[in-house]
Chain A
Amino acid sequence: MRFFAITRATLAKDVRLEWRSKDAINAMLFFSLLVVVIFSFAFDPTAEESRRIAGGLVWVAFLFAAIVALNQTWARELRNQVLDAYRVSPAPANPLFLAKAFGNFIFVSVLEALMTPLFIVFYKLRALGSAWELLPIAVLGTWALVVNGTFFAAMSLRTRSREIMLPLLLFPLSIPALLGMVNATTAILTGEESARFWIALLVAYDVVFTVACLLLFEVVLEAE
Chain B
Amino acid sequence: MSWRRKDVARRMKRGFTILAIVTAVLLSFGLYEALIAAPTERTMGDVQRIFYYHVPSAWTAFLLFLINFVGSIVYLIRRDEKSDILALVSAEVGVVFCTVVLVTGPIWARPVWGIWWTWDLRLTLTLVLWLIYVSYLTLRRFSTSSQTPMLAAVLAVFGALDIPLVYFSIWFFRTQHPSPVIGNGGSLDPRMAHVLLINWAAFLCLAWLMCWTRYRLEVLKREVEEEQALESILEGTR
Of A168, A175, A176, A183, the contact of B138 (CB 8 Å cutoff): A168
State which of A50-58, A76-84, A155-163 sits at the interface with chain B: A155-163
Residue contact A208 to B142, C-beta cutoff 8 Å: no
Chain A 56-83: CB-based contact to B (< 8 A → 1; otherwise 0): 0000000000000000000000000000
In the complex, what distance in Å separates the CA atom of A212 from the CA atom of B172? Answer: 25
Interface size (A, Cβ < 8 Å)?
A: 31
Knowing A159-B145, A173-B158, A219-B154 touch, does A197 contact B172 (C-beta < 8 A)? yes
Residue contact B150 to A172, C-beta cutoff 8 Å: no
Contacts of A192 in B (CB 8 A): none
Residue contact A155 to B139, C-beta cutoff 8 Å: yes
Contacts of A209 in B (CB 8 A): 158, 161
**Do most interface residues of chain A lie in helix, strand or loop, or is the interface mixed?**
helix
B170 at the interface (CB under 8 A from A): yes
Residue contact A169 to B165, C-beta cutoff 8 Å: no
Of A161, A173, A183, the most chain B CB neighbours within 10 A belong to: A173
Residue contact A180 to B161, C-beta cutoff 8 Å: no
A128 at the interface (CB under 8 A from B): no
Q: Which residues of B contact A (CB under 8 A)?
A: 76, 128, 131-132, 134-135, 138-139, 142-148, 150-151, 154-155, 157-159, 161-162, 165-166, 168-170, 172
Q: Which residues of A contact B (CB under 8 A)?
A: 148, 155, 158-161, 165, 168-169, 171-173, 175-177, 179-180, 183, 197, 201, 204-205, 208-209, 212, 216, 219-220, 222-224
Of all A-B residue pairs in the complex, the 9 with the closest CB atoms, nearest first, are: A158-B145, A223-B147, A176-B165, A172-B131, A176-B169, A159-B142, A179-B169, A172-B132, A172-B135
Apart from A158-B144, A160-B144, list 17 A-B contacts with CB within 8 A. A155-B151, A159-B143, A160-B143, A168-B139, A169-B155, A172-B128, A172-B134, A172-B162, A175-B131, A175-B162, A179-B170, A201-B168, A208-B161, A209-B161, A212-B157, A219-B150, A224-B147
